[in-house]
Structure 1
Amino acid sequence: MHAARLPSLFRRLAGAVRRPATAAPLGSLRSQLLRWLIVPLVALVAINAVSLYRDALDAADMAYDRSLLASTRALAERVSVHDGKVVADVPYVALDSFETDTLGRIYYRVGGLHGETVSGYDDLPPVPKNVPRSELYPALVRFYHADYNGEPLRIAALLQPVYDDSMRGIALIQVGETLDARRALSRRILLNTLLRQALLVLAVATLVWFAVRLVLQPLMRLKQVVENRAVSDLSDVDASLVHREVRPLVAAMNGTMARMQSLIASQRRFIGDASHQLRTPLTVLKTQAELALREDDPAALRAIVRSMAATTDSTVHLANRLLTLARLEHGNGGADNRPVSLAALAQQVGLELALPAVQKNIDLALEAEDEERTTVQGQELLLHELLTNLADNAIRYTPPGGSVLLRVRRVADGVLLEVQDSGPGIDEAEYDKVFMPFYRAQAALEINPGGTGLGLAIVRDIAGLHGARLAMQRADSGRGLKVCVLFAATPVIAPADELVLH
């Protein structure tokens, strides 16, 4: 037996594709981009502003400390020893300049060798014990903060060697200034820093807004192209309209529209075929009804009614086949796969079709292995429909006195279902055509002109839905037809519309 593999009708994604959870609608892309760019930028600018402000304060403090040290040194140069005592020769003009400036007050004190006050403010706060010597200047100077008369001061304390021929020692010169000037400079630095950073953020925000607007222009053009399309226009969208990062989205849109085109074409073809197939029996039924209305002979009327009943049965059968085919082409049958025993299913179908087989004196036989060995994953209703169609076709096209065999067995590749009959068979040239909807083989037309031509199309779609391999060949006896359906041990969903038959 030669059987070609069916690639799938429906590719079950086995959990890979899941329905997305309900989420709030997304807002403006422009707003989101601006938020993600501006908010982190503002945070970074704020951190940078704090860093700049601290650096500026350190630089200002260093400048003021250097000026304070210069004042302290200038005062130290006027300290000397006379007659064994430390004296400070500070003129009144210098005292005025030390005591006040334009932005605050300056205080000083000159201490003797034994800590006594030689000149200046004797109650100026002393040097705390834990203040280290400054390493920034080549002098024995310490800087510290203290409160004096309710005002905060920055004080420089310089140890100045003094000596004469009679003695040597160290004098302490302290110069303190209020923090008004420093605070004013700090406020000015802070305001300048904040103003510059705010202007920087505003400039960046403006540039980002224009950049985002410019970058989104291709998406706006794509939106206009899609909106201006006719309802029936499902042609591909030009991917060159957008940036490279958005082209996968356009490709997905094009793929979706291609599938929609295929679906619409399939629906149109199905509607056309269905209307064509239904038109004839309905016309016949209408004609029969009109004849019945004009007929007065009861026997003839009963014959017309029986004919109408047969036509109605045929039309209902055709409609059911059409609905089954439509459901298979556009869905998966509405059920989940579960273990199904083909042996048990074949036995059930055999019992259901036993009466038509007996009426035609056909030997309907079943050869099946254990149910456990013939179990496959599938949808029981659809597999029942597949078996029914194959067995019904075999019985329908087998002449009286013939035989129909249903065989189910385990093979190396999976579970094999075979349905063979002793009818006229089908020409090999038609093997690849009989599974098309509404196509009927020449031998079938001769035996049953009123068939629908949908049974094998339904078999093809159900087999494809279950990832089964389908083949058609002559029966073992050399006369008749054998249809083989091989279900893989591990089903792989493959498209039935790409069937290749041998």
Structure 2
Amino acid sequence: MAPLATLLQRRLAAAPLGSLRSQLLRWLLVPLVLLVAINSISAYNNGIDAADQAYDRSLLASTRALAERVSIRDGKVVADVPYVALDSFETDTLGRIYYKVTGINGETVSGFGDLPPVPANVPRSEAYPALVRFYKADYNGEPVRIAALLQPVFDDSMRGIALIQVGETMEARKGLSRKILFDTLLRQGAMLLAVAALVWFAVRLVLAPLMRLKSEVERRDVHDLSDVDPALVHREVRPLVAAMNTTMSRMQKLIAGQRRFIADASHQLRTPLTVLKTQAELALRENDVQAMRSIVASIAATTDSTVHLANRLLTLARIEHGSEAAALAPVSLPDIARQVGLELALPAVQKKIDLSLEAAGEVVVDGQALMLHEMVSNLVDNAIRYTPAGGHVILRVRATPSGALLQVEDSGEGIAEGEREKVFRPFYRSSASLAANQGGTGLGLAIVRDIATLHGAGITLSEGADGRGLKVSIGFPPARQLDSAAPSLR
């Protein structure tokens, strides 16, 4: 049974769902039709058995009536069968009846001498207190049912057993069988139609709440993502409605985030684009080559800032709306820190900043290499931008009992404690960063926070060494057990 149930479940899972109403009707009506068919066959067989028993009892009664007229007279077995009795035996309204009386020595006493004899393997009937056997045979090209009764006969001179046989053609039985079959099919068909109507009505009634839910959802405005009332449907369907409500809540947050992002992005891009347009117009009106070169240099600087802002916006959008589905893999955190340090070594050298890496041993985290590279790059880039010339920036990577720890510490102005939570908002810039660099985007730490959240890491801001600068600490959860060394990004 278990393999059959498993096979049925697989077939159902692979089959197209289609209509719920039609599936319910099929699963209810098809077994019901089979059960009705089985019940009809059983009722028909029971009816035939009851009819056969009734006809056999009547046939036995006729045989007994004939046996009572059998006696011994003058040393011979005789059957005193009047003409009226013979006529009633030989004809019937629904068929014909034949009889035969056989004497003690096997001689035919009366009736149809060629009536088929009793087969040797026919047992005695246990249903009646008489020595009677019932069997079927063919007589004159017709099937007949014959009762053979052994009747003791005796007088003062002799005694023995006479055999009385009475056969009946099957027309009456067949007619009754057809009637039983017709009545059975009529009753079962009427019951099947009634049950089918009730099942159809019950399925329609049960599915009515789902139809009301469908109508309510269809009537909603395209912008209406409010929760659906779970009380509209049955208790078994309420988890589905709860899941729908959760999905719509996520969609609301996603749409709200997209709208906020678009509004912020358009606001942030409007200013540099306006500046570019103004600078271009000034360059077109300027006749002095030296002045034009100065304006073009300003255009180039503004373009660099705009490109930097656009790249940050695209990174933030990719993290918020696309990176959650990417699979995590073992990544070497010191390799990423080392690569970022090499990439940003030139800006650090140009500002005479001491950029160093402190990493001992292999530290592996489960993550996305590109996202982690972007996170570390943002942290180091921010540290270099807001650290004055002659300062230092330190990258630290080490393993702790609770997981990997990444730190970026600088000797800049730092961030006031009251602003450390605000700086993770997109486009928010602290007062110290505004004073140190007017051209920032305010997206660096927002990107870092989102990437850390994506990797299940926690991020904290604190003061650097000697109470100066800023130290960003990111703690990663323990990595899974690895079969081989983590891939290097070098």
Question: Number of residues paired by the alignment?
Answer: 468
Task: Identify the residue that residue 367 of structure 2 maps to in structure 1.
Answer: 378
Residue 355 (structure 2) pairs with residue 364 (structure 1): yes
Task: Identify the residue that residue 3 of structure 2 maps to in structure 1.
Answer: none
1:339 to 308, 327, 330: 330
Q: Contact conserved, 1:390 with 1:456, CA < 8 A, in 2?
A: yes
Distance 1:27 1:336 in 2: 34
Q: Contact conserved, 1:333 with 1:382, CA < 8 A, in 2?
A: no
Look up the SS of the partner of 2:98 in the other structure: strand
Q: Contact conserved, 2:330 with 2:366, CA < 8 A, in 1?
A: yes
Q: Contact conserved, 2:406 with 2:475, CA < 8 A, in 1?
A: yes
Task: Identify the residue that residue 455 of structure 2 maps to in structure 1.
Answer: 466
- Pairwise CA RMSD: 1.5
Q: Which has the higher helix share?
A: 2
Look up the SS of the partner of 1:281 in the other structure: helix
Task: Identify the residue that residue 410 of structure 2 maps to in structure 1.
Answer: 421
Task: Identify the residue that residue 208 of structure 2 maps to in structure 1.
Answer: 217
Task: Identify the residue that residue 260 of structure 2 maps to in structure 1.
Answer: 269
1:147 to 128, 138, 144: 138
Amino acid of the residue matched to residue 94 of structure 2? L
After TM superposition, the structure 1 = structure 2 runs for residues 317-356 of structure 1, keeping only pairs within 5 Å, are 317-332=308-323, 335-356=326-347
- Name whichever of 263-272 and 424-433 sits farther off: 424-433
Quick one: structure 1 residues 281 and 195, their matched pair in 2 at CA, closer, same or farther if it must change by over 3 Å? Answer: same
Deviations 1:132-178 (A, max 9, x none): 11111111111111111211110101111111111121111111101
After TM superposition, the structure 1 = structure 2 runs for residues 62-461 of structure 1, keeping only pairs within 5 Å, are 62-332=53-323, 335-370=326-361, 373-461=362-450
Q: CA deviation at 1:210?
A: 2.0
Amino acid of the residue matched to residue 388 of structure 1? S
Q: CA deviation at 1:418?
A: 1.0
1:51 to 42, 47, 72: 42
Distance 1:218 1:411 in 2: 56
- Name whichever of 217-226 and 128-137 sits farther off: 217-226
Distance 1:274 1:47 in 2: 73
Q: Contact conserved, 1:467 with 1:487, CA < 8 A, in 2?
A: yes
Gaps of 5+ in 1: 1-21, 492-502
Amino acid of the residue matched to residue 273 of structure 1? D
1:477 to 460, 466, 470: 466
Deviations 1:68-118 (A, max 9, x none): 000000000001111221111111110111111111111111111111111
- Name whichever of 269-278 and 204-213 sits farther off: 204-213
Amino acid of the residue matched to residue 458 of structure 2? R
Q: CA deviation at 1:213?
A: 2.0
Q: CA deviation at 1:24?
A: 6.9
- Name whichever of 319-328 and 474-483 sits farther off: 474-483
Look up the SS of the partner of 2:52 in the other structure: helix
Q: CA deviation at 1:23?
A: 6.9
Task: Identify the residue that residue 498 of structure 1 maps to in structure 2.
Answer: none
So what's the TM-score if we normalise by structure 2?
0.93
Amino acid of the residue matched to residue 335 of structure 2? A
Q: CA deviation at 1:206?
A: 1.6
Distance 1:331 1:218 in 2: 37
Quick one: structure 1 residues 407 and 44, their matched pair in 2 at CA, closer, same or farther if it must change by over 3 Å? Answer: same
Q: Which has the higher contact order (CA 8 A, sep 6+)?
A: 1
Q: Contact conserved, 2:367 with 2:455, CA < 8 A, in 1?
A: yes
Deviations 1:236-290 (A, max 9, x none): 1122222222222222221111111111110111111111111111111111112
Deviations 1:317-336 (A, max 9, x none): 00110010011011117753
Distance 2:15 2:36 in 1: 32
Quick one: structure 1 residues 334 and 353, their matched pair in 2 at CA, closer, same or farther if it must change by over 3 Å? Answer: farther
Distance 2:54 2:273 in 1: 107
Quick one: structure 1 residues 134 and 333, their matched pair in 2 at CA, closer, same or farther if it must change by over 3 Å? Answer: closer
Amino acid of the residue matched to residue 400 of structure 1? A
Distance 2:331 2:224 in 1: 44
Residue 475 (structure 2) pairs with residue 486 (structure 1): yes
Q: Contact conserved, 2:404 with 2:478, CA < 8 A, in 1?
A: yes
Gaps of 5+ in 2: 1-12, 481-490
Q: Contact conserved, 2:330 with 2:479, CA < 8 A, in 1?
A: no
Distance 1:341 1:262 in 2: 34
Q: Contact conserved, 1:327 with 1:333, CA < 8 A, in 2?
A: no
Q: CA deviation at 1:214?
A: 2.2
Distance 1:437 1:478 in 2: 27
Amino acid of the residue matched to residue 402 of structure 2? D
Q: Contact conserved, 2:364 with 2:479, CA < 8 A, in 1?
A: no
Quick one: structure 1 residues 81 and 23, their matched pair in 2 at CA, closer, same or farther if it must change by over 3 Å? Answer: closer
Amino acid of the residue matched to residue 160 of structure 1? Q
Q: Which runs of 4+ in 1 moved over 3 A?
A: 22-26, 333-336
So what's the TM-score if we normalise by structure 1?
0.91
Quick one: structure 1 residues 130 and 333, their matched pair in 2 at CA, closer, same or farther if it must change by over 3 Å? Answer: closer
Distance 1:68 1:216 in 2: 59
Distance 1:413 1:239 in 2: 42
Deviations 1:323-377 (A, max 9, x none): 100110111177533322111111111111111111111111111123xx21222
Distance 2:205 2:401 in 1: 63
Q: CA deviation at 1:119?
A: 0.9
- Name whichever of 242-251 and 312-321 sits farther off: 242-251
Distance 2:343 2:417 in 1: 30
Quick one: structure 1 residues 333 and 30, their matched pair in 2 at CA, closer, same or farther if it must change by over 3 Å? Answer: closer
